[in-house]
């Protein structure tokens, strides 16, 4: 299965296709840190194929530099990861690079194009923050480049991922234009709103998944029937239970750091293999005393009466903790990751800005969730290493497609092919 990945991010969607044996002819991504993450994960898969994961594990243990890992994983001189924004002045160069990659791998055609343009301009929260500026945001029209790649490479199938807000953004104008452009490119498309928790991810993440078929190849179209893979009875606590307790502004990494063996869910979801014992990026952000006091109140409120802390209520009860004059909008800015439920609320890129929406449920730790905990809630495996500073890593995780969801989508695409 030959795949071209557009707007790749940290590779959550790619991971699902890697797991199904895909061969990539390009990952195109504008963010430098995300591209470095893609290089590291590409090195992982290249080393895994050659039974050399001991080299990758050396990297996780800080015994190798990233450059040494990329060299060993045959990523250093590769043009597979293209670190540029997709635009008019880069499009032709990117196309040439992909064709070059195909020639080097003796590949004649692309089977699948995957990806989803950045969604800030389509998301409800993004539109609320940007207000009138959203109309002029160039990200509204990045889908046009996706269509141009379809025209150029003519894959058999494509997968287009985005937020539910895509349908109604701009009064539905962008979606109508996308639909028309795709139909004019000789593809038939269908879409559904899919929920990550139906794929075994312990997160209530909703996404629009558009699947399109080349009309010259497929005369009958049928959107895959994704059979719900909910693990009834599995709680969010099972994602957190084996990780060591920590404090704000701390990092725990290395061998023999897990405090329990991998449980059934962690093994089933491929988050942590039974014999895997290298913990990385269990890193927390620092918090001031005011925020920690608010976190304590939020956690106690949840466990005492299953209630969520509202900012306007906090303003009345503890005015000494209030820093925002506006207590009427964004009253739900504080939220606890609830260990006793079957799915967590959606992990968003905003986690890079502060941890208020992702408070750890253990008041003895009194903090927001760590990088590794956020990655687990997105179903990234513990051997998935994210490159860059903590803020960038949180953003990469928040923007990603959960790999477990991506894997099951890919499995159905593979059946169609």
Please give the positions annotated as active site. 119
Reduced to 3 states, what is the DSSP secondary structure of residue 128?
helix
Token pair listed for 254:
């290395």
Helix, strand, coil distribution of the chain in percent, nearest 5: 45, 15, 45
- What is the pairing mode between strands 2-6 and 112-115? parallel
CA distance 62 to 43: 15
Neighbours of 135 (CB within 10 A): 11
- What is the pairing mode between strands 187-195 and 157-162? unpaired
Token pair listed for 209:
């998944």
For residue 377, the number of C-alpha atoms closer than 13 Å in the C-beta half-sphere is 30
Neighbours of 106 (CB within 10 A): 6
Q: What is the DSSP letter of 26?
A: E
CA distance 322 to 334: 12
Q: How far is CA 161 from CA 7, 65, 209, 350, in A?
A: 10, 33, 5, 19
Q: What residue ranges in 150-295 does DSSP mark as E strands?
A: 157-162, 187-195, 206-214, 251-255, 278-283
Q: How long a stretch of residues is the chain?
A: 417
């Amino acid at each position: 299965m030959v795949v071209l990945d557009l707007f790749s991010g940290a590779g959550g969607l790619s991971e699902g296709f890697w797991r199904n044996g895909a061969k990539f002819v390009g990952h195109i991504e504008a963010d430098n840190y995300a591209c470095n993450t893609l290089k590291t994960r590409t090195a992982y898969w290249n080393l895994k194929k050659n039974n050399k994961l001991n080299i990758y594990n050396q990297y996780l243990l800080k015994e190798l530099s990233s450059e040494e890992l990329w060299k060993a994983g045959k990523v250093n001189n590769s043009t597979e990861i293209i670190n540029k924004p997709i635009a008019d002045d880069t499009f032709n160069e990117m196309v040439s690079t992909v064709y070059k990659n195909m020639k080097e791998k003796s590949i004649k055609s692309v089977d699948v194009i995957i990806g989803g343009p950045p969604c800030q301009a389509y998301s409800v929260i993004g539109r609320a923050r940007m207000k009138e500026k959203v109309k002029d945001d160039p990200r509204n029209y990045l889908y046009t480049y996706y269509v141009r790649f379809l025209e150029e490479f003519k894959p058999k199938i494509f997968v287009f991922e985005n937020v539910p807000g895509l349908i109604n953004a701009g009064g539905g104008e962008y979606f109508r234009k996308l639909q028309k452009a795709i139909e004019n490119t000789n593809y038939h498309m269908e879409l559904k709103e899919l929920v990550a928790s139906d794929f075994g991810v312990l997160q209530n993440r909703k996404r629009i998944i558009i699947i399109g078929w080349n009309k010259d190849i497929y005369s009958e179209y049928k959107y895959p029937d994704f059979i719900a893979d909910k693990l009834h009875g599995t709680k969010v606590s099972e994602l957190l239970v084996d990780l060591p307790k920590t404090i704000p502004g701390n990092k725990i990494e290395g061998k023999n750091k897990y405090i329990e063996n991998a449980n059934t869910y962690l093994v089933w979801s491929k988050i942590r293999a039974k014999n895997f014992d290298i913990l990385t990026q269990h890193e927390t952000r620092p918090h001031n005393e005011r925020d920690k006091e608010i976190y304590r109140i939020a956690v106690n409120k949840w466990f005492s009466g299953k209630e969520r802390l509202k900012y306007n209520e906090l303003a009345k009860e503890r005015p000494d903790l209030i820093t925002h004059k506006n207590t009427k909008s964004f009253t739900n800015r504080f939220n606890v990751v609830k260990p006793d439920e079957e799915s967590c609320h959606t992990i968003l890129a905003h986690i890079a800005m502060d941890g208020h929406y992702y408070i750890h449920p253990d008041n003895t730790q009194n903090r927001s969730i760590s990088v590794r905990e956020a990655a687990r809630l997105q179903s990234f495996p513990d051997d998935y290493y994210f490159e860059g500073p903590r803020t960038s890593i949180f953003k990469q995780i928040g923007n990603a497609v959960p790999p477990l969801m991506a894997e099951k989508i890919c499995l159905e695409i593979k059946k169609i092919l």
